[in-house]
Structure 1
């Protein structure tokens, strides 16, 4: 689970006084209401939901982008265009380090992982991993100063049987500013972790970024509809009941066969050839292993359709798509015939069906949704989250969510842009708003910031 995210000199986030980073936190505040919204293991209390508000261009999406930039860097290295991602409000920021740090709860332990990088120069300058203890003490598991070429290992990473092996990897990149140690230790290292259990934290943190942190933008599907690929009728009925709760009219769905050409329709020819080559390779690998699985299912999802491709050891390739039935009609409709709002809800169901262990970050939750539908979705998520350790962080303009019957005060956050173009992050918790106050009205009146300020479009001429 995400505890905190700190960022500095990235996009519209510069630094706070005394060179401190901007901070977004999922640590619960002092609010006493709605304790069922909180994860509490006796040592830390974490929010399972947060809604982030702000005017257009205030920096809400930049917070999401900053999280995703950190995730991308950890998993795949510095992405294309990274040299322009520093905060450009001050010219000297170009050659200053950008700071990324996340605090995480993994299993029974708590960690802080981060790094500094001069983005304009594609150069990492430091990296660290710290274990956080409930008594407020810390153990620096590894600390890397790239400019000095030094490494330090402590705690479970300093075990006699392990530290010599880690030092070999560390020495290979001691002065290499182009790669993170965490990334290196998760590149072709499966056997290493089987034989060195004390180093599991390096794998677990990487896996959290890869498989448990799910970040989505408005122009990207949240889901690949894998939850609809279930053939068990009981599971289909469970999904249909959940869909029905949102009043979009769908009462049933089915998988029907479709030609593979339809799945590839609209895909550039070069990409089509690559997809077909990959399918042939996976089919060959599947059939080459005697005692392996007999089938392999792949999901292809575009903005307008869904396809499930099944590879088998004994049968020909099978391609299927999904169709929906509304009310008592016998006619079924494919995904591209559904409304944008219906498609959006079908996307969001992935969050409700994901189960424990996921942290979703969703930009523009309310896109294409009626205000009542947005409210219903958040309400449903919070009900499901009572029994699951799952988190959802959203940006939104939907002020109806600012309802103390729905949310706690510490679940509401704001991003506001200063006159110099820099963004500030802060929580409603800082305002100690009364529980009987109309928060949405106060927000729209500008009491908490994060709302647009307009100039006259047509100035009134003086007589």
Structure 2
């Protein structure tokens, strides 16, 4: 499970920002030690919500692909803050704390346009830090006594522009492969676009072929989309998902259905995969094409201990303020599960938590946000809009 993510100098995230999954203490309640299963990010358009999520994606991709897919002489395909020369020249920083087999680990790295400048992995088996490896330059590394295996052989295979963790996983190092899976293979990213939707639907197709099909179809039926069942139809060259409506003998291609139906079905595949593996689902604009009851249902699936037995987590960005309120008299998001992004005049993104505000237990969070009480709201004066049209008539 993720505990904390830190990033600096990625897209609009200029200064170091932290997204925490550690539960905040609540007045009059005992402290909660289990990491949060949900984090939702709100903010104005272009405030950096997607860039925070993209930083997590970029880190995951670097772990997954830097050794096998990055060109050996092409440097680092990073995306630094572009609105100042220091941002272009400064290194980009990524670090994540997580739990694996009930042991806390901290892994991170710094990169510039050419190479990995630093990379480190520490564990905390008894609350004390234990160094597993530390890379202090593109060509220098040291190892702790707690990390076994063919460390030097793997180091000789590690290029200056690839991560040691990525190389170690490609060479089947037991512990580093397990950490690689946490940060890479078990983290799924749901983004916009037809290509990404097809990728998500490929996971749904796999689940429909297996023992998850009844569960997935039941979730499809109860969404009140008028769909009885999703099925896989094999063709001569490929397979595709088709949908069956109640009492109708004709099967419909998924492409004939609404954007909301496709979004729900494609997100269900990722969600069920994460829930079964204890992975992380990162969804940008989770409310896109979905009714608030569906997006809130997805959030509740991750928050329900009986459903989420493996400790899966959901990180999302949204404009849907109903998720901040008490939909159907139930709290959807607790205050430590709500985050905001706000952009400075310079264009840099600040990330902060609702838990930093002293909210009353009965405070209407949705109303307070829309009233600008917590910031992270666009400023738009409708009188200025009227003036544009009035001046054209003069």
| TM tier, smaller | 0.7 to 0.9
Verify the 8 A CA contact 2:279 2:312 in the aligned structure 1.
Answer: yes
Measured at CA, do residues 236 and 129 of structure 1 come closer, stay the same or move farther in structure 2, by a change above 3 Å?
A: closer
Question: Which of the numbers 96, 99, 108 marks the counterpart of 2:102?
Answer: 108
Q: State the partner residue of 1:227.
A: 207
TM-score w.r.t. length of structure 2: 0.86
Call closer, same or farther: CA 1:416–1:134 in 2, change over 3 Å. farther
TM-align CA RMSD: 2.7
Q: CA–CA distance in 2 between the matches of 1:440 and 1:151?
A: 49
Residue among 124, 149, 152 paired with 2:116: 124
In the alignment, what sits opposite 1:184? 167
Distance 1:369 1:103 in 2: 32
The count of residues paired between Structure 1 and Structure 2 equals 371
1:158-210 Cα deviation digits (max 9, x unpaired): x5xx4xx423443565xx532221122122x23xx4xxxxxx32111112233
Decide whether the 8 Å contact of 1:53 with 1:397 is kept in 2. yes
Partners of 1:34 and 1:408 within 8 A in 2: no
Distance 2:157 2:234 in 1: 52
Q: Is the 8 A contact 2:342 2:351 kept in 1?
A: yes
Give how far 1:6 is off. Answer: 0.6
Contact 2:76 2:161 in 1 (8 A): no
Return the alpha-carbon distance in structure 2 between the equivalents of residues 458 and 81 of structure 1. Answer: 50
- Which residue number corresponds to residue 31 of structure 1? 26
Q: Which residue number in structure 1 is paired with residue 323 of structure 2?
A: 401
Q: Secondary structure at the match of 1:7?
A: strand
Post-superposition offset of 1:390: 0.8
Q: Secondary structure at the match of 2:387?
A: coil
- Give the CA deviation at 1:146: 1.3
Residue 156 (1) aligns with residue 146 (2): yes
- Tell me what 1:6 maps to: 6
Q: Which residue of 2 aligns with 1:247?
A: 224
> Which runs of 5 or more structure 2 residues have no equivalent in the other structure?
none
Aligned to 2:260: 341
Aligned with 1:346: secondary structure? helix
Alpha-carbon distance between aligned partners in 1 of 2:155 and 2:312, rounded to the nearest angstrom: 35
Distance in structure 2 (CA, Å) of the matches to 1:31 and 1:212: 31
Larger Rg: 1
Q: Does 1:377 align with 2:298?
A: yes
Deviation at 1:368, TM superposition (A): 0.7
Displacement of 1:88 = 1.7
Runs of at least 4 residues of structure 1 off by over 6 A?
32-35, 460-463
Corresponding residue of 2:337? 411
- Look up the SS of the partner of 2:35 in the other structure: strand
Deviation at 1:60, TM superposition (A): 0.6
Q: Work out the CA distance in 1 between the residues paired with 2:58 and 2:309.
A: 31
Gaps of 5+ in 1: 16-20, 194-199, 264-306, 308-320
The equivalent of 2:190 in structure 1 is: 216
